[in-house]
Structure 1
Amino acid sequence: MTLDQLRPVANRLLAPWVRGAKAVGATPNSVSVVAFLLAVGAGVAFYVATPLAYGAGAVLVFLNGWLDLLDGALARELGTDSEAGDLLDHVLDRYADVVVVAGLAAGIARFDLGLAAVTGVLLTSYLGTQAEAVGLDRVYGGLLGRADRLALVGVTGAVSVSVSSVGGYSPVAYLLGLFAVVGHLTAVQRFVSAWRQLA
């Protein structure tokens, strides 16, 4: 089970945030842009890689994830959800994923793990939307969805505030290794699911 399956619960919790966003005149696209800027801030914090920076990065990642839910909920509330908005949201999400993973990898100088992790992350997301492109429902499931990744990044950032090494490796190194392995497995899982529906 992934955190993406908890979207209905998150949508209920978002109600006051949606009302607040409407009250200040925010648009779904502006929320998407702010969410992306928070991800950039997180990536920079993870690159700095000090205990304080890891704590800041963890907070920024959680805020990015929350605003990523808010933009869609706000669009539905305002009746302005559109293909253009969906495209913008997905493009900014992918860039956010790249910036955060790159920051994590650069902070511990493990670009090999970073490359393996970011390709797993991107292919997971690609397979999720590619299913929709061929006429199926968008796939959010699998071993490690975006909500799971954001939660793990946030938790790892929080842990890294006080723990610099476990068994000789940084908590961030373990996280990147997890993203590398489980990310590709999730992409394959999504591919197999879509293939079976189409075959």
Structure 2
Amino acid sequence: MTLDQYRSVADRLLGPWVSAADRLGLSPDQVSVIAFLVAVAAAAAFAVGSATLYAAGALLVLLNGWLDVVDGALARHQGVASDGGDFLDHVLDRYADVAIIAGFTAGVEAYALGFAAVTGVLLTSYLGTQIQAVGIGREYGGLLGRADRLALAGTVGVVAAVYPSPIAAGLNVVGLLLALFAVVGHLTAVQRFLGAWRDL
């Protein structure tokens, strides 16, 4: 289960967005920064935790994910794809992930779950880049990639806006999402490690 395998489909839908960014004179790096700022705004909305802001945060998370695809497509369109741009994009993605999870965590005050969730997410991403560093190639696979996490975060934001009450084990949908990120994030990191280890 990973939406990252559908990147080629997303690429075909990017034309109008890439053209608009190009006409505005935006560079891929600038789009990456905008995507990060959108994630920070989503985190702030989630931290407040009101119904309206949960819904707004959900839209902002989905926009962050879309802009994260736009920056790469824009780089290819402008012929300026570079290792530096790729590096900046990865760094900002990790900060965006931390911000979004921190926002959810603050909103429900589930700090232990938030810590477990953010370490799971960061280790998943770390394993992906470390696998690339040893020469196997970039790894997007696993149980829960970044596209999956953003889709789930957006969905949970909408659900939390409508139904903020506890669902199971005293946790509402946001708490359950953090638990999912914690468990599945670490499992995905292990899955990536084992897959890479077999390829070495």
Answering whether residue 116 of structure 2 is matched by residue 116 of structure 1, we say yes
Specify every segment of 5 or more residues in structure 1 that has no aligned partner in the other structure, as ranges.
none
User: C-alpha displacement at 1:24, in angstroms?
Assistant: 1.2
Q: 1:89 maps to what in 2?
A: 89
RMSD between aligned residues: 0.7
Counterpart in the other structure of 1:53: 53
Which stretches of structure 1, 4 residues or longer, exceed 3 Å deviation after superposition? none
Offset of 1:137 from its aligned partner?
Answer: 1.0
Of residues 159, 184, 187 in structure 1, which corresponds to 2:186? 184
Query: 1:83 Cα deviation (Å)?
Result: 0.8
Cα distance in 2 for partners of 1:94, 1:140 equals 14
**CA distance in 2 between partners of 1:193 and 1:169 (Å):** 33
> Aligned equivalents of 2:39 and 2:155: distance in 1?
15
Rounded to whole Å, the distance in 2 between the matches of 1:27 and 1:50 is: 35
Aligned to 1:34: 34
Query: Is the aligned partner of 1:11 residue 2:11?
Result: yes
Residues 1:135 and 2:135 are matched in the alignment: yes
Match of 1:173 among 166, 172, 175: 175
2:140 partner letter: Y
With structure 2 as the length reference, what TM-score do the two structures score? 0.97
Identity of aligned residues (%): 64
The normalised TM-score by structure 1 is: 0.98
1:161 counterpart SS class: helix
Letter in 2 for 1:185: L
Partners of 1:169 and 1:124 in 2: how far apart? 24
Give 5+ residue unaligned stretches, structure 2: none
Aligned residues between the structures: 198
Q: Counterpart of 1:64?
A: 64
One-letter code of the match for 1:193? G
- 2:80 is matched with 80
Tell me the SS of whatever aligns to 1:36: helix
Q: Distance in 2 between matches of 1:70 and 1:130?
A: 24
CA offsets, 1:7-43, max 9 Å, x none?
Answer: 0000000112111111111100000000000000000
The structural deviation recorded for 1:113 is: 0.2
Deviations 1:82-135 (A, max 9, x none): 111111101100000001001101110000000000000000001011111000
User: Within 1, Cα distance between the matches of 2:171 and 2:97?
Assistant: 23
2-structure distance, mates of 1:47, 1:70? 27
